[in-house]
C-alpha cells in the first residue's frame, strides 16, 4: 500500500532538478525487507500445504500404496504379526465384513469421505468391534455420535509420550510405546462420558459396544514416518487387538445413495466381496495399482468427476454478487484516497539546530564518573582543599599556616573543638558515601559559619586575585 503512492509520485517529480536517486532508494528501503518476509511466509505456507497429505489424495493410507503417504508398511507389519488384513474399497462391503465372523478391528483412515448415513452405521457394529478413526472432522464425530470435542490443533505433529497431564495411558496394548508422533489434533470428551485419553489427548478411546479409538495424527500410520520413534509399535498395537483387521481404503468420496433402481443392499452384499474387496496375499504383493479401479463404473463416475476440481467456496454464494462488487469498488476508492494522501504539500523544511550541551556538562560528567568509580578519596581531598582556600583568606592566615593554628582559628569562630575541626579539615579520606556526605555537609556548615561571623582584627582579604580581576562572588 505504501509502495504504490511512492511509485506514482516518482514520475511526477522526476522532472525536478533534485536527484531522483534518494527517492528510489526510499522506496526500496520499505519494499525489500517487507517483500522478503512476505516471500518467506508464502513459501513456508505453500510448502507445508503441498507437503501435507490430504485424505482424498490418491493412495492415502492405503495398504497397497508404497509411496510416502501410503500404509503398506503398516499392513506388512500387521501381517508379519500373523494378523489378517482385509482391504475393502467399499463402505458397505467393509461393514458387512466386519459384522461377519469374530470381532474385528475396523480401520477407517479417511472417515471424512464417508456419507453421514454410513458413518452412523459404523457404531452399530457387533459388540467387541474396535473402530479406529484417523483425524476425524466434527461432521464425522457428530454423525457417528462419538461424544468428544475437538480442542486445539497443532500446525505440525509432535512426538509425545503416552501420558496425558501426567496420568499414564489406560490402553494396555500401548504399554511398550514410549514415544510416538501422535499429538496433532487434541480431544476433550464431554463431561459425563468416561473416555480414556493418551498421548497428551492426541488419542481418545471411548469404550462401549463398539470400542471407538480416535487418533489425531496420521503420522504413525504413514509409510514415511512409520519407522520413526515407536510409531510402528503404536500403530500395530492399536490395530492388532483382534486377529482380523478390516481396512476401509476409499479412493474418493463415497458415492451418494443409489437411486431406487439400484439393487437393495441385501442383494448387493453377496456380490461385493468378489467385486469390491480382495483378501491380501500374506506377502503383501498387491497389484499396487489404483485401488479405485471402478468395480461398477456407473456408480463411481459422477463423484470422480466432481472431485477433479476443488469445490467452490460456499462464501461466494452466501452474499449477493453486488456485495462483492461494492467491496471491490470501496477498495478502489481506498486506493484513490491513499494516492491523494501520498502526495505531500512540499517537503519538510530542514534546519541545523544549535548545540544543546550545557556549559557545566564536563563538570557534571566528572561528578558522575567520581560516583561510579567510588572516588571518595579524591572527592574528599578536593572538598577539603576548596574549603581551606575559602577559609584561609577570611581568617587572615597565610596559605602555608600550620594545621593546629588553622583549626584553632576556625574553632574560635565557630565555637567547636579544635581537635574536631582539625580532623574535619585534615583528617582521613572518607570510607563510605555516607562519610563523604557528612564531610561535605560539615565543611559547608563550617565555611558558612566562618564567613558569617564578623572579622576579628582587620577586613579580611577575600582573595589574593581581586586586584586585577573583576567579577562576581561565587
Partner 1 sequence: MTWRAALLLAAGALTLPLWPSPFAGVLVMTGGVLLLVLVDRMRAVPPTALSVEREGDRTVRLGGTATVALRLGNGSGRTLRAQVRDAWVPSAGARPDVPPERIVTVPPGDTLVLPTRLTPTRRGDRPAVSLTIRSYGPMRLAFRQRSGRPATPPWTLRVLPRFDSRRHLPEKLARLRIIDGTQVTRGRGQGTEFDTLREYVVGDDIRSIDWRASARQADVLVRTWRPERDRRLVCVLDTGRTSAVRVGDEPRLDTSIDAALLLTALAARAGDRVDLLAADTAIRATVTGSGRPALLPRLVHALAPLQPALVETDFELIAGEILRRQRQRSLVVLFTALEAGALGEGLLPVLPRLAARHRVVIAAIHDPVLTTMTSTTPARAADAYAAAAGWRALAERDRVRAALTRHGVTVVDAPAGALATRLADTYLRLKARAQL
Q: Taking CB under 8 A as the criterion, which residues in 305-334 touch partner 1?
A: 320-322, 324-326, 328-330, 332-334
Nearer to partner 1, 11 or 82 (CB): 11
367 binds partner 1 (CB under 8 A): yes
Backbone phi, psi, residue 212, to 5°: -100, 130
Nearer to partner 1, 345 or 452 (CB): 345
Nearer to partner 1, 39 or 369 (CB): 369
Nearer to partner 1, 311 or 350 (CB): 350
Quote the cell numbers at residue 115. Answer: 456419507
Nearer to partner 1, 131 or 443 (CB): 443
Nearer to partner 1, 350 or 415 (CB): 350
* Contact pick of 48, 433, 461, 462 for partner 1 (by CB under 8 A): 433
Nearer to partner 1, 210 or 436 (CB): 436
345 binds partner 1 (CB under 8 A): yes
Sign of the CA dihedral with 169 first, then 173, 177, and 182 last = negative
Distances (CA, A) of 208 to 89, 106, 196, 398: 26, 15, 12, 110
Give the H/E segment covering residue 204: strand 203-206
Which x/- pattern over 381-420 shows residues binding partner 1 (rule: CB under 8 A)?
-xx-xx--x-------------------------------
Q: How far is the CB of 27 from partner 1 (least distance, A)?
A: 17
434 binds partner 1 (CB under 8 A): yes
CB 435 within 8 A of CB 427: no
Question: How many whole angstroms separate alpha carbon 177 and alpha carbon 196?
Answer: 16
Nearer to partner 1, 298 or 362 (CB): 362
Quote the cell numbers at residue 160. Answer: 509425545
> With contacts defined by CB under 8 A, how many residues of the chain interact with partner 1?
71
Whole-number CA gyration radius for the chain: 45
* Contact pick of 357, 400, 415, 457 for partner 1 (by CB under 8 A): 357
CB 199 within 8 A of CB 183: yes
16 binds partner 1 (CB under 8 A): yes
Q: How far is the CB of 32 from partner 1 (least distance, A)?
A: 26
Looking at residues 197 to 216 of the shown chain, list those that interact with partner 1 (rule: CB under 8 A): none
Question: How many whole angstroms separate alpha carbon 123 and alpha carbon 125?
Answer: 6
Q: Which residues contact 126 (CB under 8 A, 6 or more apart)?
A: 98, 99, 103
Looking at residues 435 to 474 of the shown chain, list those that interact with partner 1 (rule: CB under 8 A): 436-437, 439-441, 444-445, 465, 468-472, 474
Burial, 84: exposed, middle or buried (Cβ in 10 Å; 0-12, 13-18, 19+)?
A: middle
Nearer to partner 1, 198 or 436 (CB): 436
CB 216 within 8 A of CB 243: no
CB 316 within 8 A of CB 274: no
* Contact pick of 191, 266, 356, 399 for partner 1 (by CB under 8 A): 356
427 binds partner 1 (CB under 8 A): no
* Stretch near partner 1 under the rule CB under 8 A, chosen from 141-149, 208-216, 245-253, 378-386: 378-386
Question: How many whole angstroms separate alpha carbon 412 and alpha carbon 95?
Answer: 118
Looking at residues 121 to 180 of the shown chain, list those that interact with partner 1 (rule: CB under 8 A): none
Backbone phi, psi, residue 244, to 5°: -120, 130
Q: How far is the CB of 447 from partner 1 (least distance, A)?
A: 10
Amino acid at each position: 500500500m505504501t509502495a504504490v503512492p511512492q511509485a506514482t509520485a516518482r514520475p511526477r517529480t522526476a522532472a525536478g532538478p533534485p536527484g531522483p536517486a534518494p527517492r528510489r532508494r526510499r522506496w526500496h528501503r520499505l519494499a525489500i525487507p517487507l517483500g522478503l518476509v512476505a516471500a518467506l511466509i508464502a513459501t513456508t505456507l505453500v510448502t507445508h500445504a503441498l507437503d501435507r497429505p490430504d485424505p482424498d489424495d490418491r493412495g492415502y493410507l492405503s495398504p497397497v500404496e508404497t509411496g510416502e503417504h501410503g500404509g503398506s508398511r503398516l499392513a506388512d507389519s500387521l501381517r508379519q504379526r500373523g494378523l489378517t488384513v482385509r482391504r475393502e474399497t467399499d463402505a458397505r462391503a467393509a461393514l458387512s465384513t466386519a459384522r461377519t465372523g469374530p470381532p474385528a478391528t475396523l480401520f477407517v483412515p479417511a472417515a471424512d469421505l464417508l456419507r453421514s448415513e454410513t458413518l452412523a452405521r459404523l457404531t452399530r457394529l457387533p459388540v467387541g468391534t474396535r473402530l479406529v478413526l484417523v483425524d476425524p472432522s466434527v461432521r464425522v464425530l457428530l454423525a457417528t455420535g462419538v461424544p468428544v470435542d475437538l480442542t486445539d490443533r497443532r500446525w505440525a505433529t509432535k512426538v509425545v509420550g503416552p501420558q496425558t497431564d501426567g496420568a499414564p495411558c489406560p490402553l494396555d496394548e500401548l504399554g511398550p510405546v514410549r514415544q510416538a508422533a501422535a499429538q496433532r489434533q487434541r480431544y476433550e470428551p464431554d463431561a459425563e462420558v468416561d473416555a480414556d485419553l493418551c498421548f497428551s489427548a492426541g488419542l481418545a478411546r471411548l469404550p462401549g459396544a463398539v470400542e471407538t479409538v480416535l487418533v489425531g495424527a496420521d503420522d504413525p500410520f504413514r509409510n514415511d514416518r512409520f519407522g520413526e520413534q515407536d510409531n510402528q509399535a503404536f500403530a500395530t498395537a492399536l490395530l492388532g487387538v483382534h486377529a482380523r483387521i478390516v481396512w476401509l481404503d476409499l479412493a474418493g468420496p463415497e458415492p451418494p445413495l443409489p437411486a431406487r433402481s439400484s439393487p437393495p443392499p441385501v442383494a448387493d452384499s453377496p456380490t461385493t466381496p468378489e467385486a469390491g474387496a480382495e483378501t491380501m496375499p500374506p506377502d503383501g504383493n498387491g497389484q499396487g495399482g489404483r485401488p479405485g479401479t471402478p468395480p461398477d463404473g456407473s456408480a463411481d463416475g459422477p463423484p470422480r468427476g466432481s472431485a477433479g476440481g476443488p469445490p467452490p467456496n460456499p462464501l461466494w454464494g452466501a452474499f449477493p454478487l453486488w456485495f462483492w462488487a461494492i467491496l471491490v469498488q470501496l477498495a478502489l476508492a481506498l486506493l484513490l484516497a491513499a494516492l491523494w494522501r501520498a502526495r505531500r504539500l512540499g517537503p519538510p523544511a530542514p534546519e541545523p539546530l544549535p548545540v544543546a550541551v550545557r556549559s557545566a556538562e564536563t563538570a557534571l560528567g566528572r561528578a558522575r564518573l567520581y560516583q561510579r568509580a567510588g572516588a571518595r578519596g579524591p572527592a574528599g581531598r578536593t572538598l577539603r582543599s576548596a574549603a581551606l582556600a575559602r577559609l584561609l583568606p577570611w581568617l587572615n592566615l597565610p596559605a602555608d599556616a600550620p594545621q593546629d593554628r588553622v583549626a584553632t582559628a576556625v574553632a574560635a569562630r565557630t565555637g567547636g573543638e579544635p581537635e574536631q575541626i582539625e580532623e574535619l579539615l585534615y583528617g582521613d579520606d572518607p570510607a563510605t558515601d555516607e562519610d563523604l556526605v557528612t564531610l561535605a555537609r560539615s565543611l559547608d556548615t563550617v565555611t558558612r559559619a566562618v564567613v558569617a561571623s564578623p572579622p576579628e582584627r582587620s577586613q579580611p582579604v577575600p582573595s589574593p586575585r581581586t586586584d586585577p580581576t573583576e567579577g562576581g562572588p561565587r
